[in-house]
Structures are given as C-alpha cells and as structure tokens.
Structure 1
C-alpha cells in the first residue's frame, strides 16, 4: 500500500534507523532483555511472550498506513538496540506522532535518543512537511516525560483516563508536540546538544 509515509532508512553517526522486519524479533528481544524493560509497568517493551505479536502488530499497522516502525541499530556494533516509530499517522492533516520508543538499558543517556529523535524530526518537518509532531507518554513515565521536554517539545495537556493499558489499568497520557514554526529553533538546540554530547 502506497502511503504518505513509506519505509526508509535514516542514518546518523551514532545510529541507523531501519525498517522493522519479522527477522528482527530475536534481536529486539535481546535488546529488551538488557534491563528487563518489560518489567517497567508504564512502558510497552516486549518480553519473550509478547515480542512476536508486538512486531506483527507494528507491521500490520504499517500496512494500514498508520504507522512506520523502525529498529534502532548501533552504528559501531551494527546491533539492534531498540525501536521507535511514527504512529497515529494523519496524512490529510500532515501530523505524525513519534513513539513506541525504547532502548537497551546500556544505551540510555548516551546520546542515542537525541540523535534518533533528530533524524525522525528532520524527516518529518523537512521531507514530509508535517505541521506538527506529537509525543505521548504515560503520566508516571517521568524519564520519558523529561526526555521529551529536553528535545524542545512543549506539553499540550494530559488526557485523563485515556486508555486501559496492558495491565488493565487506566492510563493518563501526557501529550507534547513540536509545531513546524518551532522546528528551526528546536533543530538548532538539538544540533548544539549533539555537538556537546548531551542527551
């Protein structure tokens, strides 16, 4: 299915974002096992029991044109270290969300996330000409909320009782966004942080 958002490779000096495939299932499980990320109740990282359905669902959403999942690869080791994606794609209104992001524990706060978001945001604003990029996270996921703020996104609000999560609990979702008029300043800030090796 041809959509506004088509599979591609995005590459920086630290990471390569490659289209997710079924063949990545073992590598994604290995990455999630670094830190047992599925034990963090406010995240959606897969476990051995869920990784296959996790990947298949992502690829189904890609076929429907509402998602574009990537595996995150370390450029030095060529290992899969996590995943991220465009999701809730709204091609009519030129809006996307960046989310479903997680990384192996050993790579957290190393500059990996900053570069991944930089690559995704640059493609969204400069190639897809989006008018806004959204980020959403669990109210209780304070590391994620802080990371999103460090990118330069602004908090739009909190959707209370937004969804029932995989544990059957009600989730309040915090919504952030960067709009197209803000992108030049955000881009400059991210480039400065990457040069200074900040995360």
Structure 2
C-alpha cells in the first residue's frame, strides 16, 4: 500500500485508522452540533455511522485510509478525516470527509490533523500533490482549506447531485510538493500560536 495505514500522532491529536470500535464514539461526536443537518455537507447521521465506518474500512483495503480523531488530553473521539481517491501511479491523493464535534472547532485540532496528513503524504509517501474538494456554498470549509495554504484550481460546475436533488458545484484546491515546505512552515507557525 502506497500510503501506510498507521496511527499518526501529534501534540493534541492522534489519528487512528477507523475500526468498528470507533462507531459509538463517533455517534456521540457527530451528535454534538448536528453537522449532518447542513444541506451542503456530507456528514453522516448518528444512525448512519455503522455503515459510514464499515464502508470506510472497506475503502482502506484499497488504500483510501480513514481516521478517527482522538484528543490526547481527554482520550475523546471528536471526528474523522481521510485520504480518498488515492492514486499511487501518479502519487496523488485527496484529503476530505472531515468533520468534527462542535467542541473542537476553532481549536488546533483541524490544523494539526491536516499537518499530520500532509506530512505523512509528502514526507512519508513522496506525494506529488494533494487535493481538497468542497461544496461551493461551504464557506467554512473553503476558508479552512485556504488557511492551510492550498490554492484554488477551479470549480467543477454541477459536479454532483446532492441528497436533496440539488446540484453541487465543487471547488477544487491543491497543494503540490514544491509548495509543501512553505505550507508546513505556515501550519507549524499556527500550531505554535
């Protein structure tokens, strides 16, 4: 497997490859804030969590690694994130399917998670590029991706049909290997603040 399916550890968080034991803690995490009610987001409901985790575990066998996000201070599971559309031949992957409980929003958690994922990809797997995608109307996600230092590549218009039947315009961002040193310095600076 091109990207190793291993635990990634930072100062505030540990990213653990998703397992069935994460289902109940993730149900609790997703219930805080009810993010699944956002029409432009793809966040599972508590009831859908078993299917969500089992599907992610199946995808991991194909190199698409999903993680539960654990706070080191409390041991609590507070969300999830993953690599998907992993393309070993072209040394590219996407990072997404990220959501957190409300209690850790506007904390170092997302910054550190992205730092761990990007470091693992660029430094551990010698990636050429990483891509992020989000709904055009998900301004919170777009701002977070831009704060990482990713650059907007474009917008895929009417890219997907949403659950409610509306069309999703998908904003595509990327970070390429030559940009990683500056992005890394930026993320480390944010984590020190």
Give structure 2 stretches of 5+ with no counterpart: none
Once residues 70 and 39 of structure 2 are traced to their aligned partners in structure 1, the CA distance between those partners, rounded to angstroms, is 25
Q: Secondary structure at the match of 2:98?
A: strand
Aligned to 1:55: 53
Is residue 127 from structure 1 mapped to residue 124 from structure 2 by the alignment? yes
Q: Secondary structure at the match of 1:163?
A: strand
> Could you report, residue by residue, the CA deviation over 1:111-140 in whole angstroms, capped at 9, with x for unpaired residues?
110000001001110010000010000111
Q: CA RMSD in A?
A: 0.9
Is residue 26 from structure 1 mapped to residue 24 from structure 2 by the alignment? yes
Once residues 10 and 110 of structure 1 are traced to their aligned partners in structure 2, the CA distance between those partners, rounded to angstroms, is 18
Whether the 8 Å contact between 2:11 and 2:72 is mirrored in structure 1 is yes
Give structure 1 stretches of 5+ with no counterpart: none
Aligned to 1:110: 107
Aligned to 1:195: 192
Q: TM-score, normalised by structure 1?
A: 0.94
Q: 1:148 aligns with which of 145, 149, 171?
A: 145
Once residues 153 and 114 of structure 1 are traced to their aligned partners in structure 2, the CA distance between those partners, rounded to angstroms, is 13
1:5–1:180 distance in 2 versus 1, CA, 3 Å: same
Once residues 40 and 139 of structure 1 are traced to their aligned partners in structure 2, the CA distance between those partners, rounded to angstroms, is 13
